[in-house]
Chains A and B, each alone.
Chain A
Amino acid sequence: MTETPVKLLLVDDEASLRQPLAEYLSRQGFAVIQAEDASRARSALLEDVPDLVLLDVMMPGEGGLSLCRHLVETRDLPVILLTAKGEATDRIVGLEIGADDYVVKPFEPRELVARIRSVLRRASRAVPAAADEDAGYAFDGWQLDPLKRRLTDPDGTVVPISTAEFRLLVAFLDHPRQVMDRDRLLDMVQGREAHLFDRAVDNQVSRLRRKIEADSRDPKLIQTVWGGGYRLACDVTRTAPAD
């Protein structure tokens, strides 16, 4: 690590978690600023601009979600929420108000570091306008709501898919009718830190086919391209973000 350390702002009212987490993250090479509530976080932001904010959702006084909205709207800072709640609705609310990711307490510290790196990498990449990111996808009668990760078939039936399948599907939907080779898909789906075999992509593709193809042995939507790769064989339209 020769470059300047990444600056993190850690906001959590529980000193028993905040302090050891700050120490751990420092050992991992981050520069950590601590704040025990939202108002202190706001004043810390005036002095120094962090690269990423780790934010506890449940805090006395101003809550984490409110501060998160402020950070996303006025500072355009990447935010990872720390939440004790495991319910899907809480996560969706967090993502909807613009958090980049969330971890559920108690989290594995190494997983948190991986998420921080992944969010930073995404933030550093020149991504399309944020509004576009939330727009829904429509293809061949299907709908995908990226915020809720909700895939519905032409009848409106929800088809549950895993995170990996969701990322794979988004990769296809962002590049309709293009041939995507395994390396490219792996890069888009897993990120660079994952050292997976090519087979992993094939496996995910076959799982995704099982869920969205009428007959997974005779796929019509995701076609295999001879010479290595896959292609989404239909057009995609973007829809306005669902409610």
Chain B
Amino acid sequence: MQHGYWIRSKPVYHSLSWQHRAQAHVLVANGEAGRSIVRLLHQRLPDQPITVLYHPTQEADYSKSLVSLAGENLHVFKRESELWHRFEQILQQSVMGTRLYAAGNEYFLWQATTLAASHGVLSGDVMREQASSLARSVYCVHCKTISHRVTTNIAICTGCQRHLLVRDHFSRRLGAYMGLMIDAEEPGNVPEAEEVYP
């Protein structure tokens, strides 16, 4: 931990809450973040139509709770790509005043944001909650591969096998942190990795 040295590209997340001044509400979530949608559905619901897109994962499946709360407004997808396909269709048909909510791991949140941006929705108008693991997606600056589910401060690139230092510098477009070869100056000098993104 470096006190006082904060890289401003690292996003700050909040808990989702309903934005009642709206025309419609579209929620996307994956895995463990289904719980955040359940929590949201327990609150006073807005008057406008709600659509929930959910992709359960091996780690967590909140479909049953979600279906009992959201009923036919819930759409469950076996594959994440199907969820994005549906999300894109919804974005195409959406009117001004549609509120977007995303809950999931960080990579998921920025996929949702990037997709929304391609339909003219500003990043600031998508609400995001990092509702599951703090694991990072890491972009290898050397071979450009993105390695997912990195929980340690030093990770082996799945593309080029280099040991990467996971920096706090974050690209919203890539949904990933920068990884830089840690032993470039002194090959072989790799400190022990610590699990800091559980």
Task: Decide whether A and B are members of one complex.
Answer: no
| Residues in B lying within 8 Å of A, measured CB to CB | none
> A residues engaging B (CB < 8 A)?
none
